[in-house]
Amino acid sequence: MATFYGYKKALKDSVPTQEWLKSILKDGIANIDEHLNKEIDDHNTLAQALSETQRSFVEYTRLGIPVDFTNEGIRGLCASGATSFPSMNGLGCTWNKELAYLEGVVEGKEARALGYTNVYAPILDVPRDQRWGRWEGSIGEDSYLVARIGVAMAKGIQDQKVVSSPKHFVGYGDCKASRQWDARTDPHITPSEMYYIHEYPFRKVFQEAGALGVMCAYNDYDGVPMSGNYHYLTEVLRKEMGFKGYVVSDSYAIGRLNGVHKVTHNFKESGLWALRAGLNVRTEFNDPTEYINNIRELVNEGSLSIERLDDMVRDVLYVKFWLGLFDQPYSGEHKKANNIVASQEHLDIAMRVSRECLVLMKNQNNLLPLGNKYKKNDSGIFFAKKDISDKG
């Protein structure tokens, strides 16, 4: 029901200790995110370290359920020395589905080699305002382009038996005033815009690529935040789009229900909203003990049914079975990772993407250089001289 962020983020230890068996970790955890991804440069050693962490959950927790090791992957796997690609915006500029698929393959192979089994990619937000702070992390402003590149990349990742978890579901790219944090997507976005523009890439990635993960967004729609939105997280995502995996929150998305959106009274009630809506796993850069204990209290109080809790856990287990973790929980290549991660083949693919993402612009009618044909006003904006007064 929760993520435990890795070493130096929430975990205080780089490898399992006896203290883990005195914490909520003794009962297992849905996933561990970004564990040791920037702490160990040698890839064989990193793969071994993740396996030893996994061993703690398989051999020493109450039920022996393996963890899903998640990691970021929006421009290559987020790990020390992994193959680096241009930004998502750069990938979109290639308009090349083959390259998007190959980037997904590289990320999936490198993730598997190191022991990561779930990658938070691709980003499927469709930005509508260039002031938005996450513009460079998006594929583009055309929903069809985002969908086709997204489907190809998700297929590349999942063909390596690694879960693709696109983000951020949904409508995050069209927030009022281009806000990234205090994000609100109110009804100035019509239902048809939500359906044909913002939902469209997710629908295609789930239905065509079979992506088994998704991260919910910070924003609301029509006054209901996505992290507590039953309509979107259950009726649209699962019943209409056919999503079969598990939903994670963006960091602090659950706490925002009371902290930012003010639709709940406290964090405990926010957790109840999220679980009832269909959000499986709370993901945040701190210790999830309070959240887990709140769930236990909600069940004991009768506010949350065991049946609902079982439904949420079942989705997480479905993904872990798909990954094969119950048959082979130790997925890293302890002796081969150094030869797989950032191999010459992978670097050559990254170079292709870097070259094809370049955009050449035609100097129509000798627009450049500007010379003295234009005048700059006090705001630093250039206008044709005949269009502005001396005062700008």
pLDDT tens track for 17-35:
999 999 999 999 999 999 9
Q: Are strands 220-221 and 167-169 parallel, antiparallel or unpaired?
A: unpaired
Helix (H/G/I), strand (E/B), else coil: 350: helix
Task: Kindly calculate the radius of gyration of the chain based on its CA atoms and give it in whole angstroms.
Answer: 23
The predicted pLDDT at position 392 comes to 44
Region for 87 from its dihedrals, namely left if φ exceeds 0, alpha if ψ lies in -120 to 50, beta otherwise? beta
Averages of pLDDT over runs of 10 residues in the chain (392 residues) are 95 93 95 97 98 97 97 96 97 97 98 98 94 89 98 98 98 84 76 96 98 96 95 98 98 94 96 98 96 97 97 98 97 96 98 95 83 71 56 46
Q: Which of 285, 294, 290, 202 is nearest to 247 (CA)?
A: 202
What separation in angstroms does the CA of 124 have from each of 33, 142, 170?
20, 11, 9
Q: Distance between CA 110 and CA 341 in Å, rounded? A: 5
Helix or strand run (H / E) with residue 213: strand 213-216
The predicted pLDDT at position 119 comes to 98
Whose tokens are 């129509």? That residue is 364
> pTM for the whole thing?
0.92
The predicted pLDDT at position 382 comes to 62
The predicted pLDDT at position 390 comes to 47
The predicted pLDDT at position 388 comes to 47
The predicted pLDDT at position 187 comes to 63
Q: Could you tell me if 340 and 110 are in contact, meaning their C-beta atoms sit under 8 angstroms apart?
A: yes
